[in-house]
Structure 1
Amino acid sequence: MTVGVLCAVQGSAESIIVQAVERSGGRLSVTRRCADLTELLAAAEAGLGRLAVVSGDLDLLDREAIDLLHRAGVRVVGIGDDARPWVGERLAALGADLVAAAPQDEESAGSVVRDALAILGSTSDDERPGPVRPDDATVRLPAQGLVVAVWGPTGAPGRTTVAVNVAAELAAAGRRTLLVDADTYGGCVAQVVGMLDEAPGLAAAARAASQGTLDLLSLARLTPSIAPDLRVLSGISRADRWPELPSSSLDAVWSVARGLAEWTVIDCGFCLEEDEVLSYDTRAPRRNAATLSALEAADVVLVVGTGDPVGIQRLVRGLGELTDLGLGATRVVLVNRVRASVAGAHPADAVGQALARYAGVTDAHLVPEDRSAVDTALLEARTLREAAPGSPVRRALAGVAARVDAVLVAALAAEPVRA
């Protein structure tokens, strides 16, 4: 079967590549020669090709554009420039399936075509390989760091308080930790830890990832340290800025974060819904993309609920929603603000029995109510470890952090020894 090729290559290399494609023995055929990115995306969404050959300096080409091509079932071959090696590096960072130098003659163009055919033949339509360089057989080792997403249903169960203090406890245990605010509805990590709202934070990291320029150094510059081994990547300052956090860019942010920190703790928004109307428009931004991206990337999902009848009901439904969406295979359930005034004379027993009966959860962490300690920490913009080290809330969250950290210990123990 002949595979359609969409060509959006600039300069003299275009005609060389088109001729090489037509000499592929009927396996490839150029179905559209695109003048710009808009035409390329339209052709891809119309199903006119399964392979796109794109110049690295094509105007407006970014990670979101390549992600749209992938979602349309199109593999991407990026054409770099020997005189500007950074172009090829950028294409690989943006997610191109193959990065090749601009061909100068028939032989080099034929090599690009053969590599493209190899990619098309090596994966099914439902799978997409990572960036490949034809002349680079180096195997990249996986990153060391792990990701924990702190999520909970609507109703302000205390996600941010849990995220901030679990991150602080992990850092105090000697783990390099990155705290990220990915709540696009009411993110407040910066205020809780005493940072300025004007810090560029996650939106700046997403922009850099979109352009393929995000690396460990640039992410480190965006994440100031607020304590030994604890960095913070602040969130968006207004809820209406959520389109600045597309999932394709955030996926790259989480990947780089794994190299920067042993634990990346992400404070997520509550909503998991996908707009039914927008779901038919692959180019529309998704309102809850940040939360869904974090949950999909997470090695551990810390699910937070409150210890009252309404909170337990929402927690049980939230756990079912995570299961329905296939998110959070490894979960740690935490019930916050457990108190006798709303759960009866024996609140821990009541909450434990309810979770066991309705959600099948028998090992939830119960955090007692201690409003005074939490208020003191919030007023002073410090963590509970700093403001109220003897608080029962702090001790309970330290236990949660220890359980989460055990996942990293197990992962390191299972990691094969590398030469």
Structure 2
Amino acid sequence: MTVGVLCAVHGSAESIIVQAVERTGGRLSVTRRCADLTELLAAAEAGLGRLAVVSGDLDLLDREAVELLHRAGVRVVGVGDVTRPWLGERLSALGADLVVMEPQDEDAGGSVVREALAILDAVGTPAVQEPNDVPVGRAAAGLVVAVWGPTGAPGRTTVAVNVAAELAAAGRRTLLVDADTYGGCVAQVVGMLDEAPGLAAAARAAGQGGLDLVALARLTPQISPDLRVLSGISRADRWPELPSSSLDAVWTVARSLCEWTVIDCGFNLEQDELLSYDTRAPRRNGATLSALEAADVVLVVGSGDPVGIQRLVRGLGELTDLGLGGTRMVLVNRVRASAAGSRPGEAVQQALARYAGVTDAHLVPDDRPSLDAALLEARTLREVAPGSPARRAIAGIAARIDALLSQSLDVARVRAEVV
């Protein structure tokens, strides 16, 4: 079976590669020589090829474009330039399956084609690259916890901020990220005067293949020892600045920067099926879906009242239907007798066990005075009211989450000893 090749290479290297492809005895065949990225993507989406050979300096080439090629079932071979070695690094950061140097003669062209064939032979059929596939047991990689909850303001941001603060207080290098594209307010809650959307800047850098540890560290100021913050977008209409393909790369770099990355997510899980005919259309909820897909742990937050419990049950069902949140911890916030009866904790536990099959939910009692004081002073509960019942409950949850990191490190040590 002949495999179609889409070629978008500049200069004399194009003819060298095309000639090398035609010498493969029918295994490969150039089906389209593309003048620009638009033509390349159109050809890929039309199913005209399974392999794309692309110049590293092709106009508008970014991580999202590479992801679109992968979604179309196309493997990507990036062609770098020996006079510009940074192009090869950029292509790797963008997610290219193979990076080669620009061939100067027939032998070099043949070598490029052989390496490309090796990729196709190794996998059989192309698969979408998974930039988030970081083994939990790898000692050098941190873990990600996504804080999500259904609509109705159950307290996602409050929980995310205070869980991150507790992890940092325990000596874990922690990154708090605001990925709520509807009403992000982490920067305001923690008292950051500069509310420039750091996450948008990180996504832009990742989209261009320029996000590394140094760049991410510059975008994440420390607000306390071991606690960094990556602020979110200031207006809901800026959501297109956070494409999921770029955020996938942000989470990967974040794992290397900190031991824990705590992501405050938006509530909406809709996947924009009405736009599915247009594969280039951005996903309105791409930031939330990307965070949930990358998360090692999903902390699901609901409110401790009848409406909040109903929404929580439905939300848990939505996560299951979408295949998100494999490892979950359920937290019920603002548990109080005035909304759940004389024994609110017991009532909440019984309802979740009956309607959602959840028997190990964590309960956070309502403590409005302490929460109001923390919000007013733009500080965390452990700073304002360390003895607060709400703070003690969240600290216990953070300890449970932190234990997962110790477990992953133990697994890594065992694997290292076996190897």
TM beyond 0.5:
yes
Equivalent residue letter for 2:326: A
Matches within 5 A, 1:18-33: 18-33=18-33
Moved more, 198-207 or 152-161: 198-207
Change (3 A) 1:130 1:92: farther
8 Å CA contact retained: 1:200, 1:222: no
User: Which residue is 1:81 aligned to?
Assistant: 81
**Equivalent of residue 313 in structure 1, options 310, 314, 321:** 310
User: Which residue is 1:417 aligned to?
Assistant: 416
**Equivalent of residue 144 in structure 1, options 135, 141, 145:** 141
SS at match of 2:416: coil
Query: Is it true that 1:163 corresponds to 2:160 in the alignment?
Result: yes
Query: Is it true that 1:243 corresponds to 2:244 in the alignment?
Result: no
Question: 1:252-286 CA deviation, whole Å, 9 max, x = no partner?
Answer: 00000000000000000000011121122110000
Query: Is it true that 1:191 corresponds to 2:188 in the alignment?
Result: yes
For 1:354 and 1:318, locate their aligned partners in 2 and report how far apart those are by CA, in whole Å: 14
State the percentage of identical aligned residues: 82
Question: 1:204-236 CA deviation, whole Å, 9 max, x = no partner?
Answer: 000000000000000000000000000000000
SS at match of 2:5: strand
User: Which residue is 1:382 aligned to?
Assistant: 379
**Equivalent of residue 263 in structure 1, options 260, 265, 276:** 260
SS at match of 1:277: helix
For 2:203 and 2:54, locate their aligned partners in 1 and report how far apart those are by CA, in whole Å: 22
For residue 181 of structure 1, report the CA deviation from its aligned partner.
Answer: 0.2
Moved more, 35-44 or 273-282: 273-282
8 Å CA contact retained: 1:308, 1:338: yes
User: Which residue is 2:5 aligned to?
Assistant: 5
For 2:194 and 2:235, locate their aligned partners in 1 and report how far apart those are by CA, in whole Å: 10
Equivalent residue letter for 2:41: L
Question: 1:326-357 CA deviation, whole Å, 9 max, x = no partner?
Answer: 11110010000000001000000000100111
User: Which residue is 2:216 aligned to?
Assistant: 219
Moved more, 409-418 or 340-349: 409-418
For 1:395 and 1:100, locate their aligned partners in 2 and report how far apart those are by CA, in whole Å: 55
For 1:225 and 1:168, locate their aligned partners in 2 and report how far apart those are by CA, in whole Å: 12
TM-score (norm 2): 0.96
Change (3 A) 1:196 1:125: farther
For residue 124 of structure 1, report the CA deviation from its aligned partner.
Answer: 4.0
8 Å CA contact retained: 1:123, 1:129: no
Question: 1:183-214 CA deviation, whole Å, 9 max, x = no partner?
Answer: 00000000000113532410000000000000
For residue 129 of structure 1, report the CA deviation from its aligned partner.
Answer: 5.3
For 1:356 and 1:36, locate their aligned partners in 2 and report how far apart those are by CA, in whole Å: 56
TM-score (norm 1): 0.96
**Equivalent of residue 393 in structure 1, options 387, 390, 396:** 390
SS at match of 2:280: coil
Change (3 A) 1:118 1:397: same
Query: Is it true that 1:290 corresponds to 2:287 in the alignment?
Result: yes
For residue 143 of structure 1, report the CA deviation from its aligned partner.
Answer: 4.2
For residue 121 of structure 1, report the CA deviation from its aligned partner.
Answer: 1.4
Change (3 A) 1:312 1:200: closer
User: Which residue is 1:301 aligned to?
Assistant: 298
For residue 123 of structure 1, report the CA deviation from its aligned partner.
Answer: 1.4
User: Which residue is 1:135 aligned to?
Assistant: none
8 Å CA contact retained: 1:97, 1:130: no
Equivalent residue letter for 1:73: G
User: Which residue is 2:337 aligned to?
Assistant: 340
User: Which residue is 1:323 aligned to?
Assistant: 320
For 2:50 and 2:253, locate their aligned partners in 1 and report how far apart those are by CA, in whole Å: 29
Question: 1:291-316 CA deviation, whole Å, 9 max, x = no partner?
Answer: 00000000000000000000000001
8 Å CA contact retained: 1:51, 1:74: yes
For 1:109 and 1:126, locate their aligned partners in 2 and report how far apart those are by CA, in whole Å: 22
Q: Over the residues paired in the alignment, what is the CA RMSD in angstroms?
A: 1.3
For 1:188 and 1:362, locate their aligned partners in 2 and report how far apart those are by CA, in whole Å: 32
Matches within 5 A, 1:56-71: 56-71=56-71
SS at match of 1:280: coil
User: Which residue is 1:354 aligned to?
Assistant: 351
**Equivalent of residue 202 in structure 2, options 201, 205, 211:** 205
8 Å CA contact retained: 2:139, 2:408: no
Question: 1:134-161 CA deviation, whole Å, 9 max, x = no partner?
Answer: xxxxxxx774200000000000000000
Equivalent residue letter for 1:394: R
Query: Is it true that 1:177 corresponds to 2:154 in the alignment?
Result: no
Query: Is it true that 1:42 corresponds to 2:42 in the alignment?
Result: yes
For 2:244 and 2:124, locate their aligned partners in 1 and report how far apart those are by CA, in whole Å: 23
Equivalent residue letter for 1:7: C
For 1:335 and 1:125, locate their aligned partners in 2 and report how far apart those are by CA, in whole Å: 44
User: Which residue is 1:96 aligned to?
Assistant: 96
Change (3 A) 1:99 1:42: same
8 Å CA contact retained: 1:63, 1:211: yes
For 1:130 and 1:406, locate their aligned partners in 2 and report how far apart those are by CA, in whole Å: 26
Change (3 A) 1:278 1:28: same
8 Å CA contact retained: 2:195, 2:231: no
For 2:107 and 2:340, locate their aligned partners in 1 and report how far apart those are by CA, in whole Å: 76
For 1:129 and 1:166, locate their aligned partners in 2 and report how far apart those are by CA, in whole Å: 31
User: Which residue is 2:134 aligned to?
Assistant: none
Unaligned runs of 5+ in 2: 132-137
